Amino acid sequence: MNLHEQFEDFLAELGVEMEHPEDTHYNGDSIPEITIHQMSRDHYGVFYRLDLLNQRRELRIMLPVDKGDLKTDIYLVRLSDRSPLNTSFGAISAYEGSPEYEQEREATLQHLLYAVAEMMKRLFWSGDLQTLRFPPEIEVYPLVLHEERRNNRRRMR
């Protein structure tokens, strides 16, 4: 049993069910090329984890809630295919430049990743968490929801 499965079992014992995106490229065991962790300046108690994983940006948003054993909801946010920002990381990663360029590539990717994360966060917060309706430039997948919110989602379907 891998770490992801162990964590899922642990959450199940607490009454929390993990939901997985329908995306076939989702693999909880992949190692990100770059990871950035942040505490929100605008939303009390909110934490962000941004990964560059197989040239895709994955933003995890951890929200404090007053209910459930974990007292946290976790959402996975990705850019949708309609976003023009999807091609930028692939082009930068594929480009073979001068030694000076190669030396600065990782820093460039981190800065670009940070800028894209800011847009993803703003699009997420402009959406509606109750109905899970968000701007079409992002896709949002609930990964961990406390039981009451999960039950409300099932009733809305």
Domain layout of the chain by residue ranges: 3-156
- Give the pLDDT band of residue 70 (cuts 50, 70, 90): confident
Q: What is the 3-state secondary structure (H, E, C) of 121-142?
A: HHHHHHCECCCCECCCCEEEEE
Give the Cα separation of 106 and 43 in Å (integer): 29
Predicted TM-score (pTM) of this structure: 0.70
Rg of the chain in Å (alpha carbons): 17
Residue 23 has pLDDT above 50, yes or no: no
Percent of the chain surpassing pLDDT 90: 31
In the predicted model, what is the mean pLDDT of residues 100-119? 87
Q: How confident is the prediction for the chain on average, in pLDDT?
A: 80
